Amino acid sequence: MTPDYRTQHKKRLSWMPWLYFSLKDKHLAWARPWQQEVQAHFSAVETVRFGDNCFVAPESELFAEPGRDIVTGKQCMIAAGCFLHGPITLGNEVAINHGCSFDGGAQGIVIGDQTRIANNVTIYAFNHGMAPNQAIYKQKSHSCGVRIGKDVWIGAQAGIVDGVTIGDHAVIGMGCIVSKDVPDWAIVVGNPMRIVGDRREKPELALFPPQG
């Protein structure tokens, strides 16, 4: 019995989607039509629009009712095991790795260009009421939205709560709970979160010259 290498290769791409963008032409010959089919299915059954040259794992779960759209820029990737419920807007070259869970609430999640999000990150752009005279599940939710800038790196298993804005070029450490705004360039860790550095002071890692 001949091993089913192509099925295994598709699974590998679903869980490590950055590999899609370095495929050789002989693999793109089957991978590109496969991706077109996957994305066409999501766009047919949900209010989802993909930019050019994206990768979306068929094992991801995308839900987007009219008015709660999911929209991506070009060359984005969404890995296997992700749950995304709109409204969500991704810029160009945004990476969402496996097992992430995002819900845009009423006001939405907006993620800027070239932001990279590691596995099992949670972002919830709404909160329940907590008045003591009624069960929480019966209370109305409220939503402020979540805004994440460009070129942000969010580490594995981080959590981001409603109402937060994360500035451009920030780094969020693994397991960090982001409960308040994060300035541009800041490096934050922990729960409760705290600022521990500035990317502009990390010359061995910096991609941009110091400013200010």
Catalytic residues: 128
Residue with tokens 């039509």: 33
Handedness of CA 52, 95, 125, 91 (dihedral sign): negative
d(CA 121, CA 118): 7
Is 45 in a helix, a strand, or coil? helix
Three-class DSSP labels, 81-103: CCEEECCEEECCCCEECCCCEEE
